[in-house]
Amino acid sequence: MTRRPMQALGLFVMLALAGCGGTAATGGPSVVASVAPAVTSGAVAACAPSTGTGTVAVSIVDFSFAPAAISAKVGDIITFTNNGAKSHSATLNEGDCGTGILAGGTSGGLTFSKAGTYAFHCAVHSSMTGTIDITE
């Protein structure tokens, strides 16, 4: 395509998208999703890998986290230990904070500086999921 048709196409797309906007107050459709994120905002800044001694233990066996619903306090170290033969991880759904890949018999820890609920998964096996509830 030459330059003029590309510019015309770009202008058309911008105008078409602008016509889709609006709010409930103006009678137009809302473009903003009403679904809350599964993870507390700012999870990347609130989470850090840790090599310290764990205060909360999570076991990874076969293809599950035990427990999958984890409760801890700000500053606690959650230690994930892979007790199976397959490699796994514990990785937050938001951002890239996680334990890294854990081979069988190894451990990795996470610590949080902000209260909130954080969804996580195994980066190797996405069907493995859980939540971490951090309180003050």
Per-residue pLDDT at 43: 55
pTM score, whole prediction: 0.68
In the chain, count H helices and then E strands: 2, 9
**Longest CA span, the chain:** 63
Pairing mode of beta strands 116-121, 129-135:
antiparallel
Q: Output the six-digit token pair for 77.
A: 């170290």
Per-residue pLDDT at 95: 81
As averages over each run of 10 residues, the pLDDT of the chain (136 residues) reads: 49 39 39 35 75 94 96 97 96 92 97 96 96 96
Per-residue pLDDT at 96: 82
CA 39, 68, 82, 109 torsion: positive or negative?
A: positive
